[in-house]
Structure 1
Amino acid sequence: MSTTAITVLTVLLSGIFLLLGSAKLAAVPAMRQAAAHVGMTTAHYRLLGAVEVAAAAGLLLGLRITALGVAASTGLVLLMAGAVVVHLRSGDPAARCLPAAVVGVLAGAHLVLLVGA
């Protein structure tokens, strides 16, 4: 069961971060607006995009090399915690922080499953 859960969470999380990270790297208009909203430059947002794409790769490679999956999940938990803080400091309502919080919890569940496997 845990192997299936790990695989499902890996595919889900890597898909989310590959998509969002790529959009940040490409600096699509919605991502440029999001960066400006929280007071970040496009260059900094692109850097976050690169981190997200690298994390997606780490998650997928973690299916074979557990330590990479653990590192990627840990990084994503920290990244999403930071995202929640940045949104709150920008004056966003709690509902605007919810996607980052949910994805952070999913990354945390992935981490727990990997460490327990």
Structure 2
Amino acid sequence: MFIALVIATALLALLAGNSAMMKLRKNDQVVAVIGGTVGVPVSYFPVLAALEIAGAAGIIAGLWLAPLGIAAAAGLTAYFIGAIAGHLRVRDTKNLAMPLIPLALSITVLVLRLITA
């Protein structure tokens, strides 16, 4: 079970880190979808990126400190639920897969971290 947690944690940390970097670099597609379609101001991107980076660092450190891993996975789960809510609010089902995949991984990491704690 712990090996599955390590694999899911690594995948989620990579996804969250990549997502954060794309926001910090103001990638054209990210700006178009999150800024243009969903309506999140570009000035919020550094805060969103910081939350993703903190979550990624937290789940990695949480492999050794279970309470931190649980808190970080719960935070990332809430973050991606918020992202999905933002897409649904503007009826953007076309781009819904972007937050759905990391949400599924966040839930997986959370459940596995709770089981292995």
| TM-fit CA distance, 1:33 | 1.6
Where in structure 2 are the equivalents of 1:75-94 lying within 5 Å?
Answer: 75-93=75-93
Distance 1:76 1:101 in 2: 12
| Structure 2 match to 1:111 | 110
| Structure 1 match to 2:63 | 63
Q: Does 1:12 align with 2:1?
A: no
Q: Is the 8 A contact 1:80 1:101 kept in 2?
A: yes
| Structure 1 match to 2:26 | 27
Q: Is the 8 A contact 1:25 1:47 kept in 2?
A: no
| TM-fit CA distance, 1:26 | 2.1
| Structure 2 match to 1:39 | 39
Distance 2:84 2:101 in 1: 10
| TM-fit CA distance, 1:65 | 1.1
Distance 1:72 1:22 in 2: 19
Gaps of 5+ in 1: none
Normalised by the length of structure 1, the TM-score is 0.90
Q: Is the 8 A contact 2:20 2:50 kept in 1?
A: yes
Stretches of 4+ moved more than 4 A in 1?
none
| TM-fit CA distance, 1:44 | 0.9
| TM-fit CA distance, 1:13 | 0.2
Gaps of 5+ in 2: none
Distance 1:29 1:96 in 2: 15
Please tell me the residue identity of whatever aligns with 2:31.
R
Residues paired across the two proteins, number: 115
Q: Is the 8 A contact 1:38 1:90 kept in 2?
A: yes
Distance 1:25 1:53 in 2: 11
Q: Is the 8 A contact 2:38 2:92 kept in 1?
A: no
Normalised by the length of structure 2, the TM-score is 0.90
Q: Tell me how large the CA RMSD over aligned residues is.
A: 1.3
Distance 2:99 2:40 in 1: 17
Q: Deviations over 1:67-89 (max 9, x none)?
A: 11111110111111111111011
